[in-house]
Amino acid sequence: MQGRQFSNDTEIARAGKKFLDRSLPKPEWTHAAHFAVSLWLVRHRSGLDLDTEMPGLIRAYNDATGTANTDTSGYHETITRASLAAVRALLTAEPSRPLHEILDGLLVSPLGDSKWLLAYWSRERLFSVEARRHWLPPDLKPLPY
C-alpha cells in the first residue's frame, strides 16, 4: 500500500507513545493515526480503562496541539466510543496478527473512509453537541460490532 503512514508495529508504538506524552506532531494525527493509536492502546495498554480515560487523553492531546475542545471542535464522545468498539472487534477477531497488518486491512475497509460513521448515524445526530458530549446510539442502523 503506497503512501501508508505505518509500515510496521514499531511505527504504531511510536505514535501511541507520542500521543500519550502529547508530543505527536499535529500533522501526524490523521484518520489512520487515530485507529493506529487506538489499536496500540487496546493491545498494549490494557491497564488503561479506555472507556473512562480516553476522553481525558484526547482532550489533553488536543490542548497540547492547539485544538480547542468545544461544542464544535476537539473531543467527540460518540465517534470515540464507536471507533473503540470497531478496534476491539478487530483485535478480538485477530488477537495475534501484527497491528500494522490489522490497520492496513482496516484502512481498505469501510472504516478507512473518515465518513464511515455516516452509514450508521445521520449527519445531524452525529455532529450534534449532544453526540459530541455523550454517547448517542446510531439512528440509521446498528453498528455491526
SS3 66: coil
Say which amino acid occupies 97: R
Residue pair 103/54 in contact by the 8 Å Cβ criterion: no
pTM of the model: 0.94
- pLDDT tens for each residue of the chain, 145 residues long: 445 899 999 999 999 999 999 999 999 999 999 999 999 999 999 999 999 999 999 999 999 999 999 999 999 999 999 999 999 999 999 999 999 999 999 999 999 999 999 999 999 999 999 999 999 999 999 999 8
Radius of gyration of the chain (CA): 15
DSSP H or E stretch at residue 126:
helix 123-126
How far is it, in rounded angstroms, from Cα 13 to Cα 115?
Answer: 25
Any idea where the domains of the chain sit in the sequence? 9-133
